[in-house]
Chain A
């Protein structure tokens, strides 16, 4: 166990000001020596345990951040292994860049609960905690799996599946020729494979790029649009999506159920939820919609509270305001194209915490105010005012790491073709790529190749 070196962001992705990236394993010191420069220009000193050093994280000639590092020699660390903790500035963007640098210099992204597991296996945690460790692994694995599957719904997962199929076909072809050389020939196959490979490599590169920061966080920030009936929530949703997704009518209570869509604001993605308007109602169906809207608001990372600024606030509004008092909220004064009755100042009195509750005037009809809204959301995110479960980010990092490995494997195949290596070497690296793509979507290899051989090719005596 634990002979490789792992790394992860150890702090939650909250607005704590300081973030910690932890590296643990036999190469922890080698990694830090490669990416850290002390204030005086020297490399990290890893001779003495439990020392703090001040300097910069630098990679590829660029300095990323000013940090403190904490060096702990095994077994006197949390995991019992050589460990380095990098105390850096706490923004998500910075922590992620530092973690990426660590990962490209010899560590791999830790699996859920892996630090704890190592701590346990190295006798650093009491035995009675073993089952707690198991629960952590299970819970985190389930969460990560659920998340990666959820994040990957749609295009990315389809893409990976189709890439796997293409690669599997090639492996099966090579393997069937190796197993049955008298029936299946590999003459002229290299050239064919190389063409195919260039195409596949191109597709994987697109995936790696799209796995860049934010984009891959497809789960996004859960943003719930909330408000009374007929204040223009659905119109707003349509403007945000740039299409007519939600049905908009003049009739109050048109949206009966919650509606979810993804939207991209620069490098941040939002999961936007349109809800039924909240009001006291006797209509059974509408009532369910209202309950769902309240439920969605309870789970939200961010609430967009929509008010019709051309009409006075009423009981329903006060109820909503009461409900969202301590939440992250942006109040949207919609219908700003009409004469205003409600304005910023009159609202502030009702709201709880002005720091996390902004008010912006918009017009869904005219499409005004949305640039300001986007800017506000981005700022809240980067300053850490909006945060979401860090496991999502870590899962994404792992995915990107695997995709990069897939790319490396495929490029090795290309190299083998160039170097005129025999065909059986191609399938070794193709198999690597195939397995790694599978691990992203949670599929195991099992007997895929053998099954594909028999399915596709006529082999056998």
Chain B
């Protein structure tokens, strides 16, 4: 039978947040790219919460933007409310979060994809990956299967074959998806969309280990049925900071819509407790592992019996719809119970549900099978990103999709892969965790996961990463030069403040007293004054006569860098220590059983993970500091031997 055959450089499977970034990265690097989706109408769909960003996720979006990704620009075009969270806390944990107009977000992303050269969009379900055994790793006696493969393309359900040098899988929650509404369930993807039912089998046949994960989403309700007078209004920030470093701030100062806050109460909890036996989570009907950070309301009531109320944020889903999202009320209880419990909540007494809450189960991979470049260890040229890798969240998906896309492209271009480490970006922390640590629930980014978070701030993502984005080829020369100029201005201003002395005079003393700061006994530098807890750079304008005219962004960096210099310095030293082990690369084909003196457990773990560096090896559970000493000594000897040979 004749089948359709086409050839591309890269195939991307899935057009969610990961797939879109992967496709754009590859196409923008000039590679012929084809993007598959089960439904063109669901490109960049936001099936769960209507926001982009939030604590630590906001960091991811800013970093992605600095590297040349699309998510930041797209939300800047389509947000309807924006807030900087944690503003009362340290700069490291300030996090931007925007409410998106969901439909507008999808539409804008689709428009961008459709207008990108080298990018083809195709609606079809990919059912198989097409591979060849890798030379030298043909059929092993044990399994009768090759140990390693090389990707050559994909096959769709209709039998069409698309040849490609690299393939990126970003299937999200669609693989063998099942949605559960209380006592009933359907084999569909999110929002009743078609699931992808065949790819899992093809992956398993290639020796890929699959997990089954679970997540959930709350109900959507009709705005007209709500009484907002019984809720607290949550307006957006007066000054909106854009996500993208390329967005002109003045372009995002616009009218915003509000979110609303209300609470559950004892009556709500009573209804939940009475109906627990009908929750599939408690009856055992759902087998998938759910995320702890995104507990259903029934989970919260059971786990925290002392809390007499839980917050519910009522958030608009867009400007042109009456649907509102009930954040904090994710549930898999049956329909009738959901109705009853909502009606106990102030403002929701007459609520009309548009869409029920539901839980969704889906197939994803054990991400330990990936290299830090997001390429499969046993299938050359096959990359993956997003919820397929066992993560959760739009932002986590987008950054992985981007890195997987970039590295799929690098493979074809014959360039080295880009791997960000834990000291460079939250993206590095996220991917390192995924490929190094056992993960049994959808992985969510958290600020506490980043050891060096004082250095990985959302405000300096451009300074950290635009150079890398430029080197990849996704940040323009102009944008990069702008960052270099900013960096230079920051350094010069810090130097000026460190050199400029403030003499003891009436004007200064009066200024200090007014701000409840100790008067001077002798001269002091401006930098020393910035460091005082009760003062900052902005306040010192009065006593700083030669202050140059600098942008808000530059001033912010100067202030942070001087004020927290001690802590920043300490973290930099820790990073230096950390980098030493990261730089010691390991051979990923090495058999660790060769090392005499290495504990058996450690050798087995190392053989299973095949870490790329001693640093990564040190983060594997079951590998002790003593094992690392042994590794170091052995490889030092090994390297010296290689040189002498």
Residues of A in contact with B (beta carbons under 8 Å apart): 1, 3, 111, 113, 117, 120-121, 123, 127, 130-131, 133-135, 137-138, 141-142, 171, 175, 178-183, 186, 419-425, 427-428, 446-447, 449-450, 453-454, 458-461
Chain B residues with Cβ under 8 A from A183's Cβ?
A: 311
Residues of B in contact with A (beta carbons under 8 Å apart): 49, 55-56, 85-86, 88-90, 92-93, 291-295, 300, 303-304, 307, 310-311, 313, 327-328, 330, 437, 446-449, 453-454, 533-534, 564, 567, 571, 580, 595-597, 621, 626, 629-630, 632-634, 636-637, 640-641
A460-B597 contact, Cβ under 8 Å, with A121-B636, A127-B641: no
Chain B residues with Cβ under 8 A from A460's Cβ?
A: 291-295
A181-B55 contact, Cβ under 8 Å, with A127-B637, A458-B304: yes
A131-B626 contact, Cβ under 8 Å, with A454-B292, A454-B293: no
Q: How far is the CA of A151 from the CA of B533 in the complex (A)?
A: 44
Would you give 25 A-B contacts (Cβ < 8 Å), ordered by A?
A1-B580, A120-B633, A120-B637, A121-B636, A127-B637, A130-B633, A131-B597, A137-B633, A138-B597, A175-B446, A178-B93, A179-B56, A179-B293, A181-B86, A182-B313, A421-B533, A422-B90, A424-B90, A425-B90, A425-B567, A428-B567, A449-B448, A450-B448, A460-B292, A460-B295
Q: How far is the CA of A460 from the CA of B626 in the complex (A)?
A: 38
A137 touches B636 (CB 8 A): no
B595 to chain A, nearest CB (A): 8
Q: How far is the CA of A178 from the CA of B571 in the complex (A)?
A: 19
A458-B307 contact, Cβ under 8 Å, with A120-B633, A178-B448, A179-B446: yes
Q: How far is the CA of A183 from the CA of B307 in the complex (A)?
A: 12
By beta carbon, the residue of chain A nearest B441 is A454
Q: How far is the CA of A394 from the CA of B213 in the complex (A)?
A: 48
Chain B residues with Cβ under 8 A from A137's Cβ?
A: 597, 626, 629-630, 633
A188 to chain B, nearest CB (A): 13
A34 to chain B, nearest CB (A): 21
A69 to chain B, nearest CB (A): 29
Chain A residues with Cβ under 8 A from B636's Cβ?
A: 120-121, 130
B261 to chain A, nearest CB (A): 8
By beta carbon, the residue of chain B nearest A140 is B626
B330 touches A461 (CB 8 A): yes
A453 touches B313 (CB 8 A): no
Q: How far is the CA of A450 from the CA of B429 in the complex (A)?
A: 14
Name the one of B295, B447, B533 contacting A178, with C-beta atoms under 8 angstroms. Answer: B447
Q: How far is the CA of A421 from the CA of B626 in the complex (A)?
A: 37
By beta carbon, the residue of chain A nearest B449 is A450
19 A-B pairs besides A127-B640, A427-B448 with CB distance below 8 A are: A117-B633, A121-B636, A134-B629, A137-B597, A137-B629, A175-B447, A178-B447, A179-B55, A179-B448, A182-B311, A424-B447, A425-B90, A425-B564, A428-B567, A428-B571, A450-B446, A453-B446, A458-B295, A458-B300
By beta carbon, the residue of chain B nearest A459 is B293
By beta carbon, the residue of chain A nearest B330 is A461
Chain A residues with Cβ under 8 A from B453's Cβ?
A: 424
Chain A residues with Cβ under 8 A from B454's Cβ?
A: 428
Q: How far is the CA of A131 from the CA of B595 in the complex (A)?
A: 9
Q: How far is the CA of A111 from the CA of B632 in the complex (A)?
A: 15
By beta carbon, the residue of chain A nearest B632 is A1
A134 touches B596 (CB 8 A): yes
By beta carbon, the residue of chain B nearest A419 is B533
Name the one of B300, B304, B630 contacting A138, with C-beta atoms under 8 angstroms. Answer: B630
Chain B residues with Cβ under 8 A from A420's Cβ?
A: 533-534
Chain A residues with Cβ under 8 A from B328's Cβ?
A: 461
By beta carbon, the residue of chain B nearest A420 is B533
B56 touches A461 (CB 8 A): no
B89 touches A134 (CB 8 A): no
By beta carbon, the residue of chain B nearest A141 is B626
A180 touches B448 (CB 8 A): no
Chain A residues with Cβ under 8 A from B626's Cβ?
A: 137-138, 141-142
Chain A residues with Cβ under 8 A from B304's Cβ?
A: 458
Q: How far is the CA of A171 from the CA of B449 in the complex (A)?
A: 12
